[in-house]
C-alpha cells in the first residue's frame, strides 16, 4: 500500500495534490511519500519479529540524504556499494556500525574508509579482495569483519540485467568454492569471519528462488560450523519485487515467514538488504505534457521528463504506470509517452491509453527506486528536483540542478 490516491479528481501524495507540488517546484519532479517509505521499512522490520535481525536498506535504490536520514531515524542499517554511498549514510546520520559493504570492485581507499568508520561487515566477493582487505586491515592495525558473498546458482527468474545469482554472473563466489575460500579467510590474521551473504537478483516476484538460495546458504553455514568456523549472521540480500503493473510479489511478511520457516531454531542473526521494496512505490516522477504530436502512425505525447531522468523503461524495457494527475474523464487514445532526448529509446511508456491535452500533468508511478539514482545529464539536461511530502507539508530535499552546477568542474584548454 502507498499514499498516492485521488481526492476530488486530483492525484495526491498523502494530503498534498501533485498539482500544487508542480506549481511550487516545477517539473520534472521526483515526489516521495514519507509515510510510505516508513511503512515499507517497518513492514520488513516487523515481519522479522523477535528473530535477531537488521534491515539494511540498499542505498543504491534511492540515496537522497533525506531518505537515508528518515530510515536512520528508524534505526535502519544500510547496504552500500561505494565510499560515496558510505559518506552519504554518515552525512544522513546513519550508524556505520550498521553498514554492510557489497560490490565486486571495492578499491583500497574505499576499504580504508570503511575500516576507519568501523562498518558492520564487508561482503567479500573474491579471493583477491579477501587478500587485499586483510592487508589493509593489517596496515591500519584493525580486524576486518567479513562475510563471503556466495553465488548459490539459482535462477531468480527476473530480467537478465538484474539477475545476479547464476554461476555465469560476475557476483559472489561459486557456492562450491566457498568452503575452500572460507578456510583461507580463517587463516588470514586480520580478518574476522562473521557471516555469509547472498543476493540473487532484483524484482523477484516468487518466493521459491529465495527459499532455494537460503537452503544452499544454510547448508554451507552448517558445514562451516562443523569445521569450527562459527558464523554470527546470514545476510539474505535484497531483491523482493514490487507491483509495477499486474505482478503479485510476496509481501515482506510472506517473504520473512518463508525465510524464518527455513531457519527454524538456528541462532543466526538475519540481515536483509531491501531497496526497491522500500522505496519503489514511495515515489513518482511528475512530468508535464509539452506537446501532443499526432503522426500518420501514432500519437506521441512529448513530456518534459526523459530517459536521463528515468532510464528504466529505456534500459530494461520496464513497464511503469503513467497516470494523469487530473483525469479528464474521456476515453482516451493510445499514446507513446516520450521525452525530448535525441534517442528513439527515449520513452517512458508506449501505447498508453490516455485522454490528454498539452499542459497536462502526468505521474510515472513506482519511480521511488532506481529513478533519481540512475539519472544522468545526457543532452545537458540538469537533474530534476526531489520533494518529500509528509502529511500536508512538503520539503524540497534536493533542489533542481542548475546549468552552472552541471558544468562546474569543466575547464577549457588554455588559449
- Would you please indicate which residues are annotated as catalytic (active-site) residues? 342
Q: Does 141 appear as a known binding residue? A: no
**Length of the chain counted residue by residue:** 415
Question: For the chain, what is the radius of gyration of the CA atoms?
Answer: 23
Q: Which of 77, 94, 172, 239 is close enough to bind ligand LLP by CB under 6 A?
A: 239
Q: Does 195 appear as a known binding residue? A: no
Q: Which of 2, 14, 45, 79 is close enough to bind ligand LLP by CB under 6 A?
A: 79
Contact 379, 306 (CB under 8 A): yes
Q: Does 239 appear as a known binding residue? A: yes
Q: Is position 61 an interface residue for ligand LLP (rule: CB under 6 A)?
A: yes
Start-to-end Cα distance in the chain:
59
Query: By CB under 6 A, what part of segment 244-303 binds ligand LLP?
Result: 273-277
Contact 175, 223 (CB under 8 A): no
Q: Is position 238 an interface residue for ligand LLP (rule: CB under 6 A)?
A: yes
Q: Is position 166 an interface residue for ligand LLP (rule: CB under 6 A)?
A: no
x-or-dash pattern for ligand LLP, window 11-50, by CB under 6 A? ----------------------------------------
Residues with Cβ within 8 Å of 3's Cβ and at least 6 positions away in sequence, in order, are 13, 14, 33, 35, 36
Q: Does 275 appear as a known binding residue? A: yes
Q: Give 120 or 190: the residue with its C-beta nearer to ligand LLP.
A: 120
Q: Is position 203 an interface residue for ligand LLP (rule: CB under 6 A)?
A: yes
Residues with Cβ within 8 Å of 349's Cβ and at least 6 positions away in sequence, in order, are 313, 319, 320, 322, 336, 337, 364
Which of the stretches 111-119, 195-203, 253-261, 325-333 binds ligand LLP when contact is defined by CB under 6 A?
195-203
Q: Which of 17, 62, 64, 102 is close enough to bind ligand LLP by CB under 6 A?
A: 102
**Cα separation, 4 vs 1, whole angstroms:** 9
**Cα separation, 391 vs 219, whole angstroms:** 47
Q: Is position 196 an interface residue for ligand LLP (rule: CB under 6 A)?
A: no
Residues with Cβ within 8 Å of 288's Cβ and at least 6 positions away in sequence, in order, are 22, 27, 28, 303, 304, 359, 360, 361, 362
Q: Is position 125 an interface residue for ligand LLP (rule: CB under 6 A)?
A: no
Contact 387, 397 (CB under 8 A): yes
Q: How many residues form the binding site for ligand LLP (CB under 6 A)?
A: 21
Q: Which residue has the cell 544452499?
A: 216
Q: Is position 365 an interface residue for ligand LLP (rule: CB under 6 A)?
A: no
Contact positions vs ligand LLP (CB under 6 A):
58, 61, 79, 102, 162, 199, 202-203, 237-240, 273-277, 312, 316, 369-370
Annotated binding-site residue numbers for pyridoxal 5'-phosphate: 239, 273-276, 370
Amino acid at each position: 500500500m502507498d499514499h498516492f490516491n485521488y481526492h476530488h479528481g486530483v492525484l495526491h501524495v498523502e494530503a498534498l495534490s501533485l498539482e500544487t507540488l508542480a506549481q511550487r517546484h516545477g517539473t520534472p519532479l521526483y515526489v516521495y511519500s514519507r509515510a510510505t517509505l516508513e511503512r515499507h521499512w517497518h513492514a520488513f522490520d516487523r515481519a522479522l519479529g523477535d528473530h535477531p535481525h537488521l534491515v539494511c536498506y540498499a542505498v543504491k535504490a534511492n540515496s537522497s540524504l533525506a531518505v537515508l536520514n528518515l530510515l536512520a531515524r528508524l534505526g535502519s542499517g544500510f547496504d552500500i556499494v561505494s565510499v560515496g554511498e558510505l559518506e552519504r549514510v554518515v552525512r544522513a546520520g546513519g550508524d556505520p556500525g550498521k553498514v554492510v559493504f557489497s560490490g565486486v570492485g571495492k578499491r583500497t581507499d574505499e576499504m580504508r574508509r570503511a575500516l576507519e568508520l568501523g562498518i558492520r561487515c564487508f561482503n567479500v566477493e573474491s579471493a583477491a579482495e579477501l587478500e587485499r582487505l586483510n592487508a589493509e586491515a593489517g596496515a591500519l592495525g584493525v580486524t576486518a569483519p567479513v562475510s563471503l558473498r556466495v553465488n548459490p546458482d539459482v535462477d531468480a527468474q527476473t530480467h537478465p540485467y538484474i539477475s545476479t545469482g547464476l554461476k555465469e554472473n560476475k557476483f559472489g563466489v561459486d557456492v562450491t568454492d566457498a568452503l575452500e575460500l572460507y578456510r583461507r579467510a580463517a587463516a588470514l590474521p586480520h580478518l574476522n569471519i562473521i557471516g555469509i551473504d547472498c543476493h540473487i537478483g532484483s524484482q523477484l516476484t516468487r518466493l521459491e528462488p529465495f527459499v532455494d538460495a537460503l537452503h544452499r546458504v544454510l547448508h554451507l553455514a552448517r558445514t562451516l560450523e562443523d569445521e569450527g568456523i562459527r558464523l554470527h549472521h546470514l545476510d539474505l540480500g535484497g531483491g523482493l519485487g514490487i507491483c509495477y503493473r499486474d505482478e503479485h510479489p510476496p509481501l515482506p511478511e510472506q517473504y520473512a515467514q518463508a525465510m524464518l520457516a527455513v531457519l527454524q531454531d538456528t541462532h543466526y542473526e538475519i540481515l536483509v538488504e531491501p531497496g526497491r521494496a522500500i522505496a519503489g512505490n514511495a515515489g513518482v516522477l511528475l512530468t508535464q505534457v509539452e506537446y501532443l504530436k499526432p503522426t500518420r502512425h501514432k500519437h506521441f505525447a512529448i513530456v518534459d521528463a526523459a530517459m536521463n531522468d528515468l532510464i528504466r523503461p529505456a534500459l530494461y524495457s520496464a513497464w511503469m504506470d503513467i497516470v494523469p494527475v487530473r483525469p479528464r474523464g474521456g476515453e482516451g487514445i493510445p499514446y507513446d509517452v516520450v521525452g525530448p532526448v535525441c534517442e528513439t529509446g527515449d520513452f517512458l511508456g508506449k501505447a498508453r491509453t490516455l485522454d490528454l491535452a498539452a499542459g497536462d500533468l502526468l505521474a510515472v508511478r513506482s519511480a521511488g527506486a532506481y529513478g533519481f539514482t540512475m539519472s544522468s545529464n545526457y543532452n545537458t539536461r540538469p537533474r530534476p528536483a526531489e520533494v518529500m511530502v509528509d502529511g500536508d507539508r512538503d520539503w524540497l530535499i534536493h533542489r533542481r540542478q542548475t546549468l552552472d552546477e552541471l558544468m562546474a568542474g569543466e575547464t577549457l584548454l588554455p588559449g
